Structure 1
Amino acid sequence: MAHEHNHNTEAIGDKRLIAAIGVNTVLTLAQVVGGIVSGSLSLIADALHNLSDAASLVIALIARKIGRKPPDAFKTFGYRRSETIAALINLVTLIIVGLYLIYEAIGRFFAPQPIEGWTVVVVAGIALIVDVVTALLTYTMSKNSMNIKAAFLHNVSDALASVGVIIAGTLILLYGWYWTDTVLTLMIAGYVLWQGFSMLPKTIHLLMEGAPEGVSITDIINVMEQVDDVVSVHHVHVWEIAEHSTALEAHVVIKKASLPEIERVKTDLKRVLHEQFKVSHSTLEMELDGSVCIDTRQADSHRSEA
C-alpha cells in the first residue's frame, strides 16, 4: 500500500514538472520575441534565465526517472545520485548564463539601444504570472529535493526579476530612463550568480562523498562507544549515497563474546546510528578486544615503506 502511495506521488510530481516545463518554454519564446521587438536586454536576460529554468526542470525530470532504477550489478548503490549530478549541471549552466548577461550588459553601457517600454511591461507581466504558477507547481516537491528546490528558487527569482523588469519599463515610459534596463540586467545576473555559487559547494561536497551536514565523526564515535560491550570504534567513514540517504562503515572493537552477543551488539549499534544520525546503510566490522586491526597494520606497513 505504501509502495502504491509513493508511486502515485512520484507520478503526480512528474506531471507537475512536465507542466512547469511547458509553461516555462512558452514563456521563454514570448520573452525572446518581446525583447527583440522592444530592444530590451533585461527582457532577453529574463528569458535566458527562464530558459535555464526550463532546462533544469527537464534535467531534474530525467534524473528523477533514472534515480528510481533499482540497484544492479553495475550500480550496487542504485542510481539515486543522478539527481545530484543533474543539480551540478544546472548550477554550472546557471553560472555561465549569469556571466553572459554581465558581458551583454557592459556592452549596452557603451552602445545604448532604444527600448519600447510598453512591450517590456506587458511581456514581463505575463512572465510574472507564469513564474508564480511554476513556483506553485514545484513548491511541495522542493521541500525534500535539492534538485527541485533549486528549480523552485530559480522560479521565485524569476518572479522577482519580472517585477523588476516591469518597474524598469514603467520608468522608461514615464521618465525615459533607459539606463534602468542595463542596471536591472546586472542585478538579475548578480542574483543568478549568487544562487549558483551558493549552492555549488553543497552539491560538490555530496559528489565528493563528504560527511552529511551537521554530522560529527567525533559524536558518532562517542555514541557508538556508549553501547554495551563496545570498547572502541575506529576507521569510521560516513557519507551520503544520495540526498537524504546516509551510509557509514566502521571497525568496532568489542569484548570477547559469543556469536549471538556479537549480533546483539551489531543490532544495537545499527539502531542507534539510524535513530540519532539517520544512517540508512551501515557496514560494521567487529573486532575482539586485544586483536590487531588488519587495516591498521597494513596502513602502518605502507607508511614505513614510504
Structure 2
Amino acid sequence: MTKTHAHNHSHQKRTGRNLLFSIVLNIVITVAQVIGGLLSGSLSLLSDALHNFSDVLSLIVSYFANRLAKKEASIKRTFGFKRAEIMAAFINAASLIIIAIFLVFEAVERLQNPQEISVGIVIILSIVAILGNGLSVLLLQKDSKVNMNMRSAYVHLLTDLMASVAVLLGGLLMRFYELFWIDSVLTFAIAVYLIIVGYDLLRKSFKILMLYTPDTIEVKEIVATINALPKVKSIHHVHVWQLNEEETHLEAHIDFSADIPVSEFGEILHTIEAIVHEKFEINHVTLQPEFDKEDSKDIIVQD
C-alpha cells in the first residue's frame, strides 16, 4: 500500500502566527472588559469578558495542539500526535457549554435583582471587543473550513463577536430607554447560543475520539461493493473510523473463494483501495486475507 501525504508548511506557520495574534488580542480584550464590567456593574459585559477568557484558553489549547499535530510518528507514538487537534476541539467545546451554564444562572439571578449600569463604559468596551474579535475571526476564517481544531477556535471567536454586538445593542437600549433588565436577557441569550454551538462541536469531536463510523459512510454499502469483486467471497469483521479529519481508516477480514497467491491479493487490494477512496474518501486500508477459515463472518464482530 502506497500512501502519499502532502504538508504545506507555510500554511501551518501562518496558522500558528494567526493563533498567537488572536491570543494576545483576546487577553487585552478580556482584561479591559473585566475592569469595565466591574466599574460599570454590567453582567453582560462581564459575561462577555468570561467568554473572552474562555477564548484565550481555547486558543492556547488550539495553538499547542496545532504544533503537536505536526510532530512526526515514532516507535512509541506510531500515529504521532494526529489526534491532538481533535482533543483540543473536544476540550474547547466542553468549556463553551460549562461557561454557558454558569452564565444562565448568573443571568437569572441578575434578572430577579436588576441593577443600574454605567452604560458609557459598556458601549465603548463592546465596540473595542467587536473590532478585536472581528479581526481574529477574519484571521481564522479560512483555516476553520478545513480543520476541526481551527473551527472550534473560530466558533469561540465568532460567538464572542456576536455576543459583543449584542452587548453593544443592549448598551444603546439602556442608554436611550433605561431598559437595564435587557443586560440579563442578552446574557441569557448569549448563553443559550453558546450551548447550541458547543454541543455540535462536542458531538462531532466525541464521535471521532470514540472511533465512530463517519456519518457520511455506509458500512453495508462498502461491504456490498467489495463483495461484488471477482474471487471475493465476503468481507467481514469491519471497522471504519477517523484518526482525525484528514485520515479515514478501513480495517477488515476478506474471505476469498479460492486459494489465491499473494501477488494476486496485492492486485485486488490495490483495486479495493482505489474504489473505497473514490466512493467513500477512505485513504487507509488494512485487509486480512482469508481462505476457508472458520471464524465469524458477521460484518460487525465484537472483539
Task: Please indicate the TM-score interval, normalised by the length of the shorter structure.
Answer: over 0.9
Counterpart of 1:133? 135
Distance 2:222 2:5 in 1: 32
| 8 Å Cα contact 1:246-1:281 kept in structure 2 | yes
* CA apart distance, 1:296: 5.9
Counterpart of 1:189? 191
Q: Which amino acid in structure 1 is aligned with residue 93 of structure 2?
A: L
* CA apart distance, 1:208: 0.6
Q: Does structure 1 residue 37 correspond to structure 2 residue 23?
A: no
* CA apart distance, 1:75: 2.1
Counterpart of 2:268? 265
Distance 1:100 1:70 in 2: 40
* Stretches of structure 1 lacking an aligned partner (at least 5 in a row): none
**1:245-273 deviation per Cα after TM superposition (whole angstroms, max 9, x unaligned):** 11111111223223322221111112212
Distance 1:88 1:82 in 2: 10
Structure 2 residue matching 1:250: 3-state secondary structure: strand
Q: Which amino acid in structure 2 is aligned with residue 271 of structure 1?
A: A
**Please, what is the CA RMSD of the aligned residues?**
2.2
Distance 2:152 2:132 in 1: 17
- Within 5 Å, which residues of 2 pair with 1:173-252? 173-252=175-254
Q: Which amino acid in structure 2 is aligned with residue 117 of structure 1?
A: V
Inter-CA distance 197–5: structure 2 relative to 1 (3 Å threshold): closer
Q: Output the TM-score relative to the length of structure 1.
A: 0.91
Task: Return the structure number with greater helix share.
Answer: 1
Counterpart of 2:71? 69
Q: Which runs of 4+ in 1 moved over 4 A?
A: 2-5, 294-297
Aligned residues: 298
Counterpart of 1:12? 14
| 8 Å Cα contact 1:67-1:83 kept in structure 2 | yes
| 8 Å Cα contact 2:89-2:201 kept in structure 1 | no
Structure 2 residue matching 1:76: 3-state secondary structure: coil
Distance 1:65 1:133 in 2: 22
* CA apart distance, 1:116: 0.8
Counterpart of 2:123? 121
Inter-CA distance 295–73: structure 2 relative to 1 (3 Å threshold): farther
Select the residue among 88, 109, 112 that pairs with 1:110. 112
* Stretches of structure 2 lacking an aligned partner (at least 5 in a row): none
Identity percentage over the alignment?
35
**1:16-63 deviation per Cα after TM superposition (whole angstroms, max 9, x unaligned):** 110111111111111111111111100111111111112111101101
Q: Which amino acid in structure 1 is aligned with residue 270 of structure 2?
A: T
Distance 1:37 1:89 in 2: 32
Distance 1:226 1:193 in 2: 46
| 8 Å Cα contact 1:84-1:242 kept in structure 2 | yes
| 8 Å Cα contact 1:287-1:293 kept in structure 2 | no
Counterpart of 2:287? 284
| 8 Å Cα contact 2:276-2:282 kept in structure 1 | yes
| 8 Å Cα contact 2:127-2:164 kept in structure 1 | yes
- Within 5 Å, which residues of 2 pair with 1:88-103? 88-103=90-105
Distance 2:7 2:238 in 1: 36
Distance 1:215 1:64 in 2: 27
| 8 Å Cα contact 2:236-2:297 kept in structure 1 | no
Distance 2:296 2:290 in 1: 11
Structure 2 residue matching 1:242: 3-state secondary structure: coil
